[in-house]
């Protein structure tokens, strides 16, 4: 059996005991954990150019190590030139070892490649313990060769936890190494 990803070991050995101390969980099953990471990328121009969809699929596969599924429109929207069944995006859901490896690469390699990077905002929690991070350029990932990229696109990365509060989810993600930064004068979500 292969070794567990280093971030998964860090969760077991450091983050989990820290969360128990911080929030006073009695039952080990109460301790929040990262359940999955969903990466979504829209491909709006696919009606004019099929290559946009193919590029999005290949780039997401290179970034995540898993083949993405193509998302199709559920209904027609004439103002956007979208017909029912037309491809509108690609999506990957990562779990277990691949999830931890992606999280590790995102935090240690990709995010520091963002120009003038100071940290990620701590305001994108949804009230149910999930956090969504918008990434403006796919070229921050080392797996993407900048010379082969036809267009710069962004993506949304959603971290789904089983935390009951945003404060617990903030502590979990912060413990795993998410570089949160305070925005404005208000208290951060997990303070």
Asked if 102 and 94 count as a contact pair (C-beta separation under 8 A), the reply is yes
What is the structure's pLDDT at 188? 46
Asked if 32 and 129 count as a contact pair (C-beta separation under 8 A), the reply is yes
Longest dimension (CA), the chain: 56
Distant-in-sequence, close-in-space partners of 73: CB < 8 Å, separation ≥ 6: 82, 83, 84, 85, 86, 87, 88
77: helix, strand or coil: strand
Report which of residues 160 and 142 the model is more confident about.
160
Domain ranges of the chain: 43-89, 94-181
pTM for this entry: 0.85
75: helix, strand or coil: coil
Q: What percent of the chain has pLDDT over 90?
A: 28
Q: Which residue, among 37, 22, 59, 43, has the nearest Cα to 165 in the 3D structure?
A: 22
CATH for 94-181 (3.30.1360.120, 3.30.1440.10, 3.40.50.850, 3.40.50.300): 3.30.1440.10
What is the structure's pLDDT at 191? 47
DSSP string, 92-120: EEE-HHHHHHHHHHIIIIIGGGSTT---E
What DSSP designation does 42 have?
E
Report which of residues 113 and 178 the model is more confident about.
178
| Reported confidence tier of residue 48, pLDDT bands at 50, 70, 90 | low
Q: Which residue, among 19, 69, 76, has the nearest Cα to 43 in the 3D structure?
A: 69
What is the structure's pLDDT at 123? 86
- Beta strand 120-121 pairing with 180-181: parallel
- Report whether pLDDT(147) > 60: yes
138: helix, strand or coil: helix
What DSSP designation does 115 have?
T
């Amino acid at each position: 059996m292969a070794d567990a990803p280093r971030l998964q070991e860090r969760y077991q050995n450091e983050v989990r005991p820290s969360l128990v101390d911080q929030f006073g969980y009695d039952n080990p099953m109460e301790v929040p954990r990262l359940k999955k990471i969903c990466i979504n990328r829209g491909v709006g121009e696919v009606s004019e150019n099929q290559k946009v969809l193919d590029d999005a699929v290949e780039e997401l596969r290179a970034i995540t190590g898993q083949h993405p599924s193509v998302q199709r429109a559920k209904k027609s929207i004439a103002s956007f030139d979208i017909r029912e069944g037309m491809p509108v995006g690609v999506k990957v859901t990562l779990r277990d070892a691949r999830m931890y490896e992606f999280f590790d690469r995102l935090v240690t390699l990709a995010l520091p490649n963002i120009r003038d990077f100071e940290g990620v905002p701590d305001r994108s929690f949804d009230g149910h313990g999930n956090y969504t991070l918008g990434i403006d350029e796919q070229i921050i990932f080392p797996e993407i060769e900048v010379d082969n990229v036809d267009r710069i696109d962004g993506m949304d990365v959603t971290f789904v936890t089983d935390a009951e509060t945003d404060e617990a989810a903030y502590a979990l993600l912060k413990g795993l190494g998410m570089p949160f930064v305070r925005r404005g004068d208000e208290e951060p979500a997990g303070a």
